[in-house]
Amino acid sequence: MNLIIPENYKSVLDLKQTEKAIKIVKDFFEQSLASELRLRRVTAPLFVLKGTGINDDLNGTERPVGFPIKDMGEARAEVVHSLAKWKRMMLADYSIEMGYGLYTDMNAVRPDEELDNIHSLYVDQWDWERVVSKEQRNLDFLKHTVRGIYSAMKRTEYVVYENYPQIKPILPEEITFIHTEELLKQYPTLTPRERETKAAEQYGAIFVIGIGGKLANGEKHDGRAPDYDDWSTPTINGYKGINGDIVVWNPMFKSAFELSSMGIRVDKESLLNQLKTEGAENRKSLYFHKRLLDGELPLSIGGGIGQSRLCMFFLRKAHIGETQASIWPPKMMDDCKKNGILLM
């Protein structure tokens, strides 16, 4: 168990105020995001059929929660890890036009998470996906989209301040873009997490580009499945990857704090390349991958934005369990209670 107790922590808002504030944050940000990126809300599944390639396998090691379906000959279903691939299929099935997209409230269960202040068994996020053209599959368009999302975050932060003046805005005016290779060059002796913390402290808010492929030192900055984000396409500066994470500086923990993972999605060429690189070419015959390789799915950009994470940051909470209801180890619950961290 890795629990951080901020020194002299006391929640700015009590439980009732927190519940109200969570709704304010979620309602306002959701509408801002939809307006900024021109997204339509759709209903999403909690589980999908096993063996279709639709579920997100995250880093490739996490086990999905599964169960047999009595009325379907005991076929097995899996509770989603995220909807990274499902959303792209919906763009095609809903016939979403170029420049528009969709979003949904995604609820997932990740039993292999290491529980701490920011990781829970229960994951809630806004999953979104938008149709792009071939000409928009580049770093400039990725940055343009990131700035739109960051603008929605900034407006939400101000709405929180309007309702709760004791919570002062801390996000910088602009988000800074930095590639994982640049971080490696600047801090070669640090871990990827430590590199992000250094950059987040310096700039306040960063977008870390290029996550999933191996860096110059032969290691990955972080894992990313090979079949949704494009982390292998070279950019104009010679680096690879048109994906990344929105990371902010969290003064409570004095560390980097990830709010969103996103990227331009694989096309046929980058999918085949990344499947080969990761030794996962057997996936080509799965339902999702076959549809993509057969040209049935549009080119897209998409990502996920943590709902509880966003609330945690804007409401200055020390534990994600203060913004969502989940299950925690007894010792963690006791330690939190002793230190004024009231888990839901």
Read off the pLDDT of residues 271-323 as tens digits, 9 standing for 90 and up.
999 999 999 999 999 888 999 999 999 999 999 999 999 999 999 999 999 99
Domain limits at 191? 15-338
| Residue 210 included in any domain | yes
Q: Note if 261 is an active site residue.
A: yes
| Residue 10 included in any domain | no
User: In this structure, which long-range contacts are made by residues 287-296, counting pairs with CB atoms below 8 Å and at least 24 apart in sequence?
Assistant: 287/52, 287/53, 287/54, 288/52, 288/53, 288/54, 288/85, 288/88, 288/89, 288/227, 289/53, 289/227, 291/89, 291/92, 292/88, 292/266, 292/268, 293/268, 295/268, 296/92
Residue 149 pLDDT? 97
Q: For residue 250, which phi and psi values (nearest 5 degrees)?
A: -105, 105
Catalytic residue among 127, 181, 227, 245: 245
- pLDDT surpassing 80 at residue 330: yes
| Helix residue ranges, H only, 204-282 | 268-277
**Per-residue model confidence as pLDDT tens digits over 81-106:** 878 889 999 999 999 999 999 999 99
Q: What domain count does the chain have?
A: 1
Q: Note if 110 is an active site residue.
A: yes
| Residue 217 included in any domain | yes
**Per-residue model confidence as pLDDT tens digits over 202-256:** 999 999 999 999 999 999 999 888 998 999 999 878 899 999 999 999 999 999 9
| Residue 2 included in any domain | no
| Residue 299 included in any domain | yes
Residue 58 pLDDT? 61
Q: Note if 258 is an active site residue.
A: yes
Residue 198 pLDDT? 97
Question: pTM of the entire structure?
Answer: 0.91
Catalytic residue among 30, 82, 110, 196: 110
Neighbours of 279 (CB within 10 A): 8
Residue 1 pLDDT? 55
- pLDDT surpassing 80 at residue 201: yes
Average pLDDT over residues 145-161: 97
Catalytic residue among 32, 125, 136, 270: 125
Structure tokens at 2: 């890795």
Catalytic residue among 57, 78, 127, 258: 258
What is the helix (H) or strand (E) element at residue 256, kind and residue range? strand 255-264
Q: How confident is the model at residue 41 (pLDDT cuts 50, 70, 90)?
A: very high
Q: Note if 245 is an active site residue.
A: yes
Q: How many CA atoms lie less than 13 Å away from 26 in the CB half-sphere?
A: 19
- pLDDT surpassing 70 at residue 59: no
Catalytic residue among 56, 124, 229, 267: 56
Contact indicator for 243, 211 with CB cutoff of 8 Å: yes
Q: Note if 56 is an active site residue.
A: yes
Residue 13 pLDDT? 93
Residue 312 pLDDT? 95
Catalytic residue among 82, 120, 136, 261: 261
| Helix residue ranges, H only, the chain | 15-37, 84-93, 139-163, 180-186, 192-203, 268-277, 287-293, 307-314, 330-338
Contact indicator for 281, 233 with CB cutoff of 8 Å: no
| Residue 1 included in any domain | no
From residue 199, how far is each of 31, 271, 318 by CA, in Å? 30, 30, 21
| Residue 5 included in any domain | no
| Residue 6 included in any domain | no
Distance CA 257, CA 204 (A): 10
What is the helix (H) or strand (E) element at residue 207, kind and residue range? strand 205-209
Q: Identify the CATH number of the domain in which residue 90 sits.
A: 3.30.930.10
Best CA proximity match to 308, nearest among 40, 89, 19, 38: 19
